Amino acid sequence: METVANKNLIKGGEFLIKDVTPEEIFTPEEFTEEQRMLIQACKDFLEKEVYPKVEELDEAKDTSLMVSLLDKAGELGLLGAGVPEEYGGMGMDFNSTMLITEYLGAGHSFAVAFSAHTGIGTLPIQYYGNEEQKKKYLPKLASGEWKAAYCLTEPDSGSDANSGKTKATLSEDGKYYIINGQKMWITNGGFADVYIVFAKIDDDKNLSAFIVEKDFGGITMNPPEKKMGIKGSDTRQIFFNDCKVPVENLLSERENGFKIAVNILNIGRIKLAAAAIGASKAALSHAIRYANERKQFGRPISSFGAIKHKIAESAVKIFASEAATYRAGQNIEDAIKMYKEAGMSDSEAKLESLKQFAIECAMMKVHGSEVLDYVVDEAVQIYGGMGYSAESPVERAYRDARINRIFEGTNEINRLLTVDMILRRAMKGELDVMGPAMAVAKELMAIPDFGAEADTSLFAAELKAVKNFKKAILMVAGAAAQKLGKGLGEEQEIIMNVADMLIETYVTESVLLRVLKMAQKQGEEATALYQDLARVYLYDAVDVIQKAAREAITAFAEGDELRVMLLGLKRFTKLEPFNVKAARRRIADYLIEKNEYAF
Amino acid sequence: MKILVCITHVPDTTTKIKFTPDNKQLDKNGVQFVIGPYDDYALSRAIDLKNELGASVTILNVGTAETEPTIRKALALGADDAIRIDAEPTDSYFVAQQIAAVAKQNNYDLILMGRESIDFNGGVVHGIVGEMLGIPALSPVMKLDIEGNVAKMAREIEGGKEYLEAELPLVLGCQEPIAEWKIPNMRGIMSARTKPLQVLPPFAEDVLTETDSFELPPPRKECKLIDPDNVEELIDLLQNEAKVL
């Protein structure tokens, strides 16, 4: 920790109390030539191997097609991108693996199988395995020779993951753990060679994790689940009946399973955000092309303002989500490097960094999946009746998108976690929220600043608005915590409000900084359209923040206190008028000309 | 065996082409460039031959520094090294001169390229190179196998196919289905940056043609659909609007 402070590295959650400059964030415009080649390879893979078969995948009677696609991805090295070279992988940096996840994220059911294998399937061994376990399993998982699945959820244990009933008991000779129990919603369940299984040893309070090979015996499964979307992804209930797992296949230490599950999900969450961005871009591109082709009243429907609004609004959300996701991705990457320099092993450094940025991971999971749902919904709307037909690509995109708000921790759980983690860090003194919160309380009582010397440089006013959003959060969260104390935990509605404020603030700041950085490099004139994107996002966000804050304040305050805070909120969410309609038209016109999402 | 693959750096096939205001040049603003699709087939066959016979594959491109991402992509696909002739590929003769000069220095067994580039579609560079080197040039080659010192090929000709054999060295203009396009693997992408890319000044400066101006084809007219029962309207439109009857 000391080293982190010394190097002045940005910490997780710190965005709430710290002003960040464009130089301090990474933007997608800075991807290297190599990373751009990576993007193209992923796009080519989908075009050549996956898209021609999406329908067949959804209707497949067995898992052979999905397995063959994973094999092909393995041949290209896509499955081992994030695995260290000494275990047969490519040892790519974090944001490169994010890019792969993003661009394959448009691959419908394949994307889910890919993410389950490379993420929750492979990472527990990569991060928590001992040398023997890593040597034995990682090369096979990196090449795709073996496929992996992750068995955490049970019929009675979903969001409350640590309450699972699956048991592991040591055999009499002490050589095996005998696992008994039932797991459900297991992605890749039907064809996996290796299962990461969470179970409680004897009467332990906490889960332990095990590496279970399909041939250990005692594993049976139900036929694939029938689902709303991602129908080609093989999802099963799996039963463990006296499954004999050698003791050396215990992953990490006894009772460490819940920690493993939580930390692996951190990565899963930010990767899910990346995948959602990829799927959003693809869905919006379909919608733009259709809007250009479809004619009504003698003109392409893309020429109508109502449709332009949908196109622009979708693009604005995607662009902003991308800005925040890769900003966090690079923060994680930088932290990994720093921890490694401080002497940590590769796995320790990665885990520590992801823990550090768990708040951002949770926020982006929520944001990415909700942007995707917005985009696919509007894509279906742009397609009109055709969008409701199973023959249109957006119908599948619409159904496939919905799971993203549910898995890797529901968005509700992730909102709760976001606020919970910030409050915990504040209590522990890791995040100095108290000082800034006191300053805000003081400001509430002071005469308002009328902005006598307004800074007119690009985005000065907008970034000041973001600074005020942060004050609004500190005001609301501070007062709620003070007023409700431990009772806040039962006031989930208020926590959701605060989470929404946090997410919108983080994303708004990210998109403003992204565009500011672009403007610094390319000039203000050349980035006018991008400034539109960022401003429209800001104006959308302020409404969300205002509403969330008002609901929260009125839920716990009354009388003078309520009035003071509402006045404060008004001050903290004040923006100069901006013609968002005209800006949206400029954005839409550009994309209509390009005939695809092109930012 | 030494193979030289000549690649062009051309606008992506979905690009909406625009010209500079004087209509003398392509407006490159916002255009994404790719390896010429026919060149990509040639490259894919070369990589397959490398895997089958252990050939070495060198990439050659005539272009300014902006073509380097395209060259790196070819290296990522499995080529061993690359040469860039630092000049605008002004016309076919100019490009052929550069290729021939490089070939004379290095004794390649095979010089492969696309049947034509997809920007100016000259389709003559392979022929000129063959002439300059005094070796056979064939195009469009759709199948290529090497047995010892002999290339066995299939070529598309009017109304059918021609099967032929020729001794190496050869210059070939390639087209599908000579090989399947490849996707670079992750290792290829990561090693592309470290593979040698030699930049050479042009060998000769002779340009034989000059572009007066470019012109876009007229936009395609809208298609009218007429009910099959409504023959009268069809006749009327053909007579009075299309004026073909």
pLDDT digits (tens, 9 = 90+) for A364-395: 999 999 999 999 999 999 999 999 999 999 99
d(CA A222, CA B187): 38
Interface of B with A in 181-220 (CB under 8 A): 181, 183-187, 189-190, 192-193
Amino acid at A299: R
The radius of gyration of chain B's CA atoms, rounded to the nearest angstrom, is: 21
Structure tokens at A542: 């302020």
Could you tell me the residue range of the domain that residue A327 belongs to? 2-9+257-412
Inter-residue contact A448 to A571 (CB < 8 Å):
yes
Inter-chain Cβ pairs, chain A and chain B, closer than 8 A: 45
How far is Cα of residue B107 from the mean position of the Cα atoms in its chain?
A: 22
Q: Note whether B37 contacts A: Cβ–Cβ < 8 A.
A: no
CB A78 within 8 A of CB A114: yes
A291: amino acid identity, one letter: A
Geometric angle at alpha carbon A387, from A381 and A393, rounded to 5°: 120
Distance (Å, rounded) from C-alpha B125 to C-alpha B119? 13
Last residue of a domain, one of A378, A412, A446: A412
Residue B168 has pLDDT above 60, yes or no: yes
Neighbours of A540 (CB within 10 A): 18
Homologous superfamily of domain range B2-213: HUPs (3.40.50.620)
Pair B41, B179: CB distance under 8 Å:
yes
As a whole number, mean pLDDT of residues A49-60 equals: 95
Q: Would you mind telling me the total number of residues written for chain A in this entry?
A: 599
Mean pLDDT of A522-526: 95
Residue A532's identity, in one-letter code, is: D
Q: Say if A422 falls within a structural domain.
A: no
- Which residues in chain B touch residue A33, judged by CB atoms under 8 angstroms apart? 69, 72, 193
For B34, nearest residue in chain A (alpha carbons): A40
pTM of the entire predicted model:
0.93
Interface probe for B, chosen from A32, A36, A38, A40 (most Cβ of B below 10 Å), is: A40
pLDDT surpasses 50 at A3: no
Please tell me the predicted confidence (pLDDT) of residue A445: 84
User: Band of the pLDDT at A406, cuts 50, 70, 90?
Assistant: very high
pLDDT digits (tens, 9 = 90+) for A81-140: 999 999 999 999 999 999 999 999 999 999 999 999 999 999 999 999 999 999 999 999
Do residues A55 and A192 share a domain?
Answer: no
| Residues A364, A290 share a domain | yes
Chain B residues within 8 A of A595 when measuring between CB atoms: 16
Q: Both A265 and A187 in a single domain?
A: no
Closest CB to B189 among A38, A45, A595: A38
A443 within domain boundaries: yes
Please state the rounded mean pLDDT for residues B162-173: 96
Q: CB–CB of B168/B149 below 8 Å?
A: yes
Query: Does some domain include residue A52?
Result: yes
Q: What 3 state SS string does A449-485 have?
A: CCCCCCCCCCCHHHHHHHHHHHHHHHHHHHHHHHHHH
- Measure A77 CA to nearest chain B CA, in Å: 5
Q: What is the DSSP string of B101-131?
A: HHHHHH--SEEEEESS-SSS----HHHHHHH
Interface of A with B (CB under 8 A): 33-34, 36-38, 40-41, 44-45, 48, 75-78, 80-81, 90, 92, 595
pLDDT of residue A2: 42
Report chain B residues whose CB lies below 8 A from the CB of A44.
Answer: 183
Percentage of chain A beyond pLDDT 70 is 98
Residues of A with active-site annotation: 408
Helices and strands (H and E) in chain A: how many: 20, 10
Could you give the CA distance from residue A334 to residue A349 in angstroms, rounded to a whole number? Answer: 10
Instruction: Judge: B69–A80 Cβ closer than 8 Å, yes or no.
Output: no
- Which residue on chain B is closest to A100 by alpha carbon? B186
- Rounded to 5 degrees, φ, ψ at B97 are -60, -45
**Cα A589 to Cα A257, A289, A304, distances in angstroms:** 51, 13, 11
Mutate to test the interface with B, among A76, A522, A593, A599 (most CBs of B within 10 A): A76
Strand-pair partners of A182:
A239
Q: Is the Cβ pair A41, B193 closer than 8 Å?
A: no
Question: Which residue among A84, A119, A146 closes a domain?
Answer: A146
Residue A71 belongs to a domain: yes
Question: 3-class SS at B185?
Answer: coil
pLDDT bracket for residue A4 (50, 70, 90): very low
Average pLDDT over all residues of chain A? 95
Q: Do residue A50 and residue A187 come from a single domain?
A: no
| Amino acid identity at A433 | V
Q: How many CB atoms lie within 10 A of CB B115?
A: 24
Look at the block and give the residue holding tokens 């062009």: B8
As a whole number of angstroms, the distance between CA A327 and CA A517 comes to 12
Structurally, chain A folds into a number of domains equal to 4
Check: CB of residue A584 under 8 Å from CB of residue A305. no
Tens of pLDDT, residue by residue over B189-208, are 999 999 999 999 999 888 88
- Taking an 8 Å cut-off on Cβ atoms, the answer to whether A81 and B186 are in contact is yes
Contact B190 A78 (CB under 8 A): no
- The answer to whether the CB atoms of A38 and B186 lie below 8 A apart is yes
Q: Are A317 and A465 in a shared domain?
A: no
State whether A34 and A163 are in the same domain: no
Any bridge partners for residue B197, and if so which? B82
Do A182 and A277 lie in a common domain?
no
Is the pLDDT reported for residue A506 higher than 70? Answer: yes
Instruction: Flag whether A16 is in a domain.
Output: no
CATH number, domain with residue A120: 1.10.540.10
A563-598: pLDDT as tens digits: 999 999 999 999 999 999 999 999 999 999 999 999
The C-alpha atoms of residue A94 and residue A84 are separated, in whole angstroms, by 12
Taking 70 as the threshold, does the pLDDT of residue A452 lie above it?
Answer: no
- HSE (side-chain half, CA atoms, 13 Å) at B59: 35
Q: A555, A577, A513: which is closest to A15 by C-alpha?
A: A513
With cut-offs at 50, 70 and 90, classify the pLDDT of residue B241: confident
Above 60 in pLDDT, residue A11? Answer: yes
Q: Determine the pLDDT at residue A1.
A: 40
B226 pLDDT band (50/70/90 cuts)? confident
**Does the pLDDT of residue A6 top 50, yes or no?**
no
Residue A208's CB: how many other CB atoms inside 10 A? 22
Whether residue A9 has pLDDT greater than 80? no
> In whole angstroms, what is the distance from residue A405 CA to residue B76 CA?
37
Which residues lie closer than 8 Å to A477 by C-beta, 6 or more apart? A419, A422, A423, A437, A498
Mean pLDDT to the nearest integer, B27-55: 94
Residue A196 lies in a domain: yes
Q: Is the residue at A502 inside a domain?
A: yes
Share of chain B above pLDDT 70, in %: 100
Return the closest-CA partner of residue A424 out of B218, A416, A343, A234.
Answer: A416
| Confidence at residue A7, expressed as pLDDT on a 0 to 100 scale | 52
Residue A235 per-residue DSSP state: E
Residues of chain A with pLDDT > 90: what percent? 92
CATH code at position A484: 1.20.140.10
CA-wise closest residue to A162 among A276, A273, A303, A259 = A259
3-state secondary structure of B20: coil
CA distance B59 to chain A (A): 17
pLDDT digits (tens, 9 = 90+) for B79-130: 999 999 999 998 999 999 999 999 999 999 999 999 999 998 999 999 999 9
From the list A36, A40, A77, the residue facing B185 with the nearest CB is: A77
